Chain A
Amino acid sequence: MEAVNTYLLSVTLASLLVNFAISLYAMFFKPHYVKKVIALTILGDTVNTFAIYIGYRRWVEQRPPRVPVLTDLRPEAIEEFKNLAVDPLPQALVLTAIVIGLAVILFLVFLGWILYSHYRTLDMREIKRLKG
Chain B
Amino acid sequence: MNLETLSLNLLGLLTPFLVILAFITPLLSKLLKSSRRAPFIIALIGGVYAAMASTVVFCYEITSRSPLIYTYGGWPPHFGIVYEIDLFNGLLGFLVAWIMLAIILYSSWYSKRLDDASWYFTLLLGLTAGVLGCLYTGDAFNFFVMLEVLSISTYGLVAYLRNRAEAVEATAKYALIGAVATTMYFLALVIIYSGYGTVNMAYLAGLSSAEFVVKEPSLRYLSLLAVSLALWTFTFKSAIFPSHFWLVDANPEAPHPVSVALSGLVESVGIYAAGRFLYTIFRPNGVLAVYHSVILIVLVTLGAISGVVCALMMLNQRDIKRLLAYSSISHTGIVYMGLFAGFLVNNSAVEAAITGAIVHAVSHVIAKTALFMSSGLFIETSGSRDLDDMRGVGRAHPLALVATVISTLSLIGLVPFIGFYSKLLIILGYISAGFVIVPILVIAITALSVPGYMKILSSVAFGIPAKEYKRPSGETWVEVLILLIALSLLVLGVIFWYIMPIFQDTTSSLISGAGDYINSALERIPEELRSLMRGVS
Contacts and interface: CB of A to CB of B under 8 A. Distances in A.
A binds B: yes
Interface of A: 24, 27, 33, 36-37, 40, 43-44, 47, 50-51, 54, 89-90, 93, 96-97, 100-101, 103-104, 107-108, 111-112, 114-115, 118-119, 124, 127-132
Contacts of A96: 141, 145
Given A100-B148, A130-B249, A90 B193 contact: yes
18 contacts: A36-B176, A40-B176, A43-B183, A44-B179, A47-B190, A50-B187, A51-B190, A54-B190, A54-B194, A89-B199, A93-B186, A104-B148, A108-B179, A111-B155, A111-B159, A118-B169, A129-B169, A131-B322
Contact of B155 (A36, A43, A90, A107): A107
Contacts of A107: 152, 155-156, 175
A127 B172 contact: yes
Contacts of B471: none
A118 B165 contact: yes
The 10 closest A-B pairs by CB, nearest first: A118-B165, A54-B194, A51-B190, A100-B148, A47-B187, A132-B249, A104-B179, A132-B248, A114-B168, A115-B168
A88 B173 CA distance: 36
Interface residues of B, dominant DSSP = helix
Contacts of A108: 172, 175-176, 179
Contacts of A103: 148, 152
Interface in B297-321: 319
Interface of B: 141, 144-145, 148, 151-152, 155-156, 159, 162, 165-166, 168-173, 175-176, 179-180, 182-183, 186-187, 189-190, 193-194, 199, 245, 248-249, 253, 319, 322
A119 B193 contact: no
Contacts of A112: 172
Given A24-B180, A129-B165, A130-B173, 4 more contacts: A108-B175, A111-B159, A130-B166, A131-B322
A47 B186 contact: yes
Contact of B168 (A36, A101, A111, A128): A111
Contact of B169 (A37, A104, A115): A115
A23 B141 CA distance: 23
A118 B148 CA distance: 27
Nearest to B148: A100
Contacts of A131: 319, 322
A127 B138 CA distance: 41
Contact of A93 (B141, B159, B249, B322): B141
Nearest to B175: A108
A130 B176 contact: no
A44 to B, nearest CB: 6
A127 B169 contact: yes
A111 B179 contact: no
A110 to B, nearest CB: 9
Nearest to B179: A104
A76 to B, nearest CB: 19
A104 B145 CA distance: 12
Nearest to A44: B183
B151 to A, nearest CB: 8
A50 B190 contact: yes
A40 B184 CA distance: 11
A47 B172 contact: no
A37 B180 CA distance: 10
Given A104-B148, A127-B172, A54 B193 contact: yes
A40 B179 contact: yes
A21 B398 CA distance: 55
Contacts of A115: 168-169, 172
Nearest to A40: B179
Given A107-B156, A111-B159, A33 B165 contact: no
Contact of A130 (B145, B169, B186, B187): B169
A122 B223 CA distance: 39
Contacts of A114: 159, 162, 168
Nearest to B317: A131
Contacts of B193: 51, 54, 89-90, 93
Nearest to B191: A54
Contacts of B166: 129-130
Nearest to A128: B169
B162 to A, nearest CB: 5
Nearest to B180: A27
A124 B176 CA distance: 12
